[in-house]
Amino acid sequence: ISVAFVAALGFANAMMWPAIFPLAIKGLGSHTELGSALLIMGIVGGALMPQVFVHLKQYINFQLAFLMVIVPCYLYILYYGVRGHAVGAQPSGIHK
């Protein structure tokens, strides 16, 4: 059952990426190329978080270490999808 849930999590991550990427580069104008490059480099978090987990689980419970690493990451993704992508954007209806 746990293997199925891990596979389902990977599928959910794959489904989020096509929605997050356009939100992240929207409105960057001449900085779109740099923004996309930084976003792709940000994927490195997928390589760093397992290492953080490995070090934490040496000192604390496996499940607690997993929660300490994963929950903040997914909370940030949730925040970004709901509100974070619009931070600094001009409100709709106001044109200069």
pLDDT category at 41 given cuts 50, 70, 90 is: confident
Average pLDDT over residues 6-26: 83
pLDDT category at 91 given cuts 50, 70, 90 is: low
Q: Do 44 and 68 form a contact (C-beta atoms < 8 A)?
A: no
pLDDT category at 94 given cuts 50, 70, 90 is: low
Compute and round to an integer the Cα radius of gyration of the chain: 17
Instruction: Give, in degrees to the nearest 5, the angle at Cα 42 between 66 and 14.
Output: 70
- pLDDT of 58 over the 90 cut: yes
Length of the chain as a residue count: 96
Highest mean pLDDT among 11-20, 46-55, 59-68: 59-68
pTM of the entire predicted model = 0.64
